[in-house]
């Protein structure tokens, strides 16, 4: 049942003292002013245990003041990625939503139902942490069952989760014997088995190497889709955003820089994130046909068809295409005798200069598909490109990445 | 002194120490948890009060206990009127004196054990729907158990040797409050009592060594 999730968090702290908690195992410094530290610490709820090293960084600006002021509304179910540099305040935002930090102002409404008025343990907000945080004295099965036994909401069973996440053979093992990828899969399963109304994921793959991430991402997609709940997914890895997100919130310095669907923001040349080397557009379409004789598949996205290297997905299945900005060539006339498979009429919507690289980022509309093309400043001058001009976009099939 | 007496003294000593730790340990866990995890005003005051027996002359601790728990003392009168319990000059009083003396030792060891438990795990349990007591019982306590056992063994072993506070508060009554160190002291007061004192000291040494070995092994397990 579609609905919406509205969050609004405001947190202002004068300095470091206020993000408290002992680092594990360490004796607290025995200063004569311990009572002062202790009373500041009381501003934080519960165990007061959210450790400062997780939330510091850019959001703790030069003066030492920490400000977070973020509000957005996002449709549910679906994955909303919170993307930004480390220290932008993304993790702090999640900690506030989960109730592990008490912000100055919090308003969390899921389909109109307020969650911020409940104590953290009764909010039904699940969380997957970067470091997994599996309980070391319990087996994988006991870890998975921990939240399930405390939840009265209906949802997936332990066996379903175990088979979705490929945990069947791990159930009797101790967390210490698991690999990083296995640990994160268990952490995800444990959070989902508590049958949360909202799932928060705090850079769940950041501690894994590239190969492990590629291995776990499909599990993540499928499982989260099956759970049919809203997910807020914090990351600073672009490929995770492209693969998982439906909506995207760009966060920097404790503020929301932009919010929208992934396709919208990916094709917006005025955003800072579009000026990264890996910038590019995302198209959501369906597999329309396979052409085995040519080794190609046809993906239909709104008014345009794209030829991509043959996919194994069934006809009618959804497909997500990523087209890097630097892989789109522009021509003012339809070229003949070129190897490029996708030659589509387009219209230039915006041109944003990128003086640093002597280039320009050009927003295109291709029959409703919004994409970015990065060309040289010289090409813009040579071809006389301007906003509103009709052009042809040239994209090699080999440059099109089918993400799912 | 016969061997029956010796066995009686040892049994009394072990019993007093067991009661001291049995009652002191849950209180020490609660106190250590407060100190390790809860922010509150007057924390240093509580900390100082707990550690007082470590730095005061034990005789003073014993005397303060007498003032508090004596028949005329505020706590003593309450206990006597409400429950008919009399502490001074009884083995229960000896256990109280031992418990107070080893309390700071236990609190310190348990606090270190609790602080070594990653608060992030408690946060994780919280997002999984566990309330404060639930989190403590299912996450914090099990993970701190080796440290708590160590604290219990240390407290027990130290209890076996308490002297000053015990003799002041509970007096030296054979068969009632005369624990090993008190018996050794008495034996040394009597001309020709060195042989008995040596025998008792040997037992004392054996018990202490057992305790230390056990705590050593627990400590090694903790370090892993």
In a domain, residue A275? The reply is: no
Round to whole Å and give the CA distance between B66 and B62: 6
Q: Report the distance separating Cα A57 and Cα A253, nearest Å.
A: 9
CATH of residue A393: 2.40.50.100
| Token pair recorded at residue A384 | 């006389």
Average pLDDT over residues A143-160: 93
Q: Which tokens belong to A199?
A: 């799932």
Closest to A242 measured CA to CA, from A270, A212, A276: A276
Report the pLDDT value the prediction gives residue A48, as an integer from 0 to 100.
37
> Does A21 contact B39 at a Cβ distance shorter than 8 Å?
no
Residue range A334-383, pLDDT digits in tens: 999 999 999 999 999 999 999 999 999 999 999 999 999 999 999 999 99
pLDDT band at A127 (very low <50, low <70, confident <90, very high): very high
The verdict on a CB contact (< 8 Å) between A100 and B117 is no
| Beta-carbon contacts below 8 Å between A and B | 110
Domain boundary among A214, A232, A266: A266
Asked if A34's CB is within 8 angstroms of B127's CB, the reply is no
Average predicted confidence (pLDDT) for chain A: 86
Domain-located, residue A95? yes
B118 neighbourhood in chain A, CB within 8 Å: 24, 133
pLDDT tens track for B97-145 = 999 999 999 999 999 999 999 999 999 999 999 999 999 999 999 999 9
Residues of B in contact with A47 (CB under 8 A): 37, 119, 122-123, 126, 135
pLDDT tens for each residue of B45-101: 999 999 999 999 999 999 999 999 988 889 988 998 888 888 989 999 999 999 999
| Cβ contact B43–A50 (<8 Å) | no
Same-domain pairing of A214 and A301: no
Helices B141-160 and B194-223: crossing angle in degrees, nearest 10, is: 170
Cβ–Cβ under 8 Å, residues A122 and A197? no
Q: Which two tokens stand for residue A19?
A: 């993000």
**Quick check: A25 pLDDT over 80?**
no
Number of domains composing chain A: 2
Which of A21-25, A345-349, A357-361, B34-38 shows the lowest mean pLDDT across its residues? Answer: A21-25
A322, A282 in Cβ contact below 8 A?
yes
Q: Is residue A273 part of a domain?
A: no
Residues A37-54: what's their mean pLDDT? 36
Pick the CATH number of B3-223 from 3.50.50.60, 3.30.930.10, 3.40.50.300, 1.10.3720.10: 1.10.3720.10
User: End of a domain among A204, A239, A266?
Assistant: A266
Per-domain boundaries in chain B: 3-223
Using the Cα atoms of residue B114, residue B116, residue B118 and residue B119 in order, give the sign of their dihedral.
positive
Residue A324 near residue A399 (C-beta atoms within 8 A) = yes
| B117, B127, B130: residue with CB nearest A98 | B127
**Are residues A147 and A212 part of one domain?**
yes
ipTM of this predicted structure? 0.82
Q: What is the arithmetic mean of pLDDT over A33-59? A: 36
Give which of A294, A290, A246, A289 is closest to A266, Cα–Cα.
A246
Residue numbers in A near B134 (CB within 8 A): 150
pLDDT of residue B64: 94
Q: What is the pLDDT of residue A64?
A: 61
Asked if residue A149 and residue A257 are part of one domain, the reply reads: yes
Which of A266, A296, A330 terminates a domain? The answer is A266
Residue A13: CATH number of its domain: 3.40.50.300
Q: What is the pLDDT of residue A44?
A: 35
Please classify residue B23 by burial: count the beta carbons closer than 10 Å to its beta carbon, then call 0-12 exposed, 13-18 middle and 19+ buried.
middle
Q: How far is A55 from chain B (nearest CA, A)?
A: 13
Q: How far is B143 from chain A (nearest CA, A)?
A: 7
Domain encompassing residue A294: 280-402
pLDDT for the residue numbered B39: 85
pLDDT of residue A224: 86
Residue B6: pLDDT over 60: yes
Cβ-Cβ contacts under 8 Å, A125 against chain B: 127
| Domain assignment of residue A353, yes or no | yes
Position with higher pLDDT, A365 vs A226: A365
The confidence score (pLDDT) of residue A120 equals 93
> Which residue, among A353, A334, A352, has the nearest Cα to A343 in the 3D structure?
A334
Cα–Cα dist A150/B128, whole Å: 7
State whether A259 and A298 are in the same domain: no
In this predicted structure, the answer to whether residue A227 has a pLDDT above a threshold of 90 is: no
Give the integer Cα–Cα distance in Å for A320 and A286. Answer: 8
B167-210 tens-digit pLDDT: 999 989 998 899 999 999 999 998 988 888 999 999 999 999 99
Q: Same structural domain for residues A286 and A259?
A: no
Q: Which two tokens stand for residue B88?
A: 């001074």
Q: At what angle do helices B3-37 and B180-189 cross, to 10 degrees?
A: 130
Task: Report which of residues A217 and A345 the model is more confident about.
Answer: A345
């Amino acid at each position: 049942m579609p609905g919406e999730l509205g969050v609004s968090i405001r947190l202002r702290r004068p300095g470091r003292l206020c993000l408290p908690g002992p680092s594990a195992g360490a004796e607290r410094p025995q200063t004569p002013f311990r009572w002062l530290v202790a009373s500041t610490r009381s501003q934080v709820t519960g165990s007061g245990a959210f450790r400062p090293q997780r939330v510091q960084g850019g959001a703790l600006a030069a003066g030492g003041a920490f400000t977070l002021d973020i509000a957005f509304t996002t449709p549910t179910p679906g994955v909303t990625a919170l993307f930004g540099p480390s220290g932008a305040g993304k993790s702090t935002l999640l900690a506030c939503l989960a109730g592990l930090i008490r912000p100055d102002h919090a308003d969390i409404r899921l389909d109109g139902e307020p969650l911020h008025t409940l104590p953290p343990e009764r909010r039904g907000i699940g969380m997957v942490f970067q470091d997994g945080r599996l309980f070391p004295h319990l087996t994988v099965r006991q870890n998975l069952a921990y939240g399930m036994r405390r939840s009265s909401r209906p949802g997936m069973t332990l066996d379903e989760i175990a088979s979705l996440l490929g945990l069947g053979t791990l159930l009797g093992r101790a967390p210490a014997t698991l690999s990083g990828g296995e640990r994160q899969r268990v952490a995800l399963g444990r959070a989902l088995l508590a049958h949360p109304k909202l799932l928060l994921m705090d850079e769940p793959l950041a501690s894994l190497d590239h190969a492990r991430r590629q291995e776990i991402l499909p599990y993540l997609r499928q499982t989260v889709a099956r759970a049919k709940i809203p997910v807020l997914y914090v990351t600073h890895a672009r490929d995770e955003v492209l693969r998982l997100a439906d909506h995207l919130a760009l966060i920097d310095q404790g503020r929301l820089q932009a919010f929208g669907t992934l396709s919208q923001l990916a094709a917006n040349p005025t955003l800072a994130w579009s000026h990264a080397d890996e910038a590019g557009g995302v198209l959501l379409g369906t597999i329309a046909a396979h052409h085995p004789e040519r080794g190609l598949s046809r993906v239909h996205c709104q008014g345009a068809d794209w030829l991509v290297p043959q996919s194994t997905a069934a006809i009618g299945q959804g497909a997500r295409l990523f087209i890097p900005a630097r892989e789109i060539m522009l021509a003012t006339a339809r070229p003949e005798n070129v190897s490029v498979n996708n030659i589509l009429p387009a219209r230039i919507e915006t041109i944003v200069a990128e003086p640093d690289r002597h280039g320009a980022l050009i927003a295109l509309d291709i029959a409703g598909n919004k994409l970015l093309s990065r060309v040289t400043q010289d090409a813009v001058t040579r071809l006389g490109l301007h906003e509103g001009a009709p052009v042809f976009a040239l994209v090699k099939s080999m440059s099109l990445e089918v993400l799912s | 002194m016969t061997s029956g007496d010796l066995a009686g003294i040892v049994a009394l000593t072990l019993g007093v120490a067991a009661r001291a730790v049995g009652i002191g340990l849950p209180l020490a866990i609660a106190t250590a948890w407060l100190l390790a995890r809860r922010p509150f005003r007057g924390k240093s005051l509580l900390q100082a009060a707990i550690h007082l027996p470590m730095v005061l002359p034990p005789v003073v601790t014993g005397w303060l206990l007498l003032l508090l728990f004596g028949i005329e003392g505020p706590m003593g009168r309450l206990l006597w009127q409400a429950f008919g319990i009399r502490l001074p000059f009884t083995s229960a009083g000896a256990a109280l004196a031992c418990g107070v003396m080893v309390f700071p030792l236990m609190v310190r060891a348990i606090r270190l054990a609790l602080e070594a438990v990653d608060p992030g795990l408690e946060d994780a349990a919280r997002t999984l729907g566990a309330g404060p007591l639930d989190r403590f019982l299912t996450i914090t306590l099990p993970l701190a158990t080796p440290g708590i056992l160590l604290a219990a063994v240390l407290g027990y072993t130290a209890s076996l040797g308490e002297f000053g506070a015990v003799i002041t508060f509970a007096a030296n009554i054979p068969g009632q409050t005369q624990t090993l160190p008190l018996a050794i002291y008495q034996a040394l007061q009597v001309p020709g009592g060195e042989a008995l004192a040596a025998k008792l000291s040997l037992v004392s040494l054996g018990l202490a060594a057992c305790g230390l070995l056990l705590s050593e092994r627990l400590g090694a397990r903790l370090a892993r």
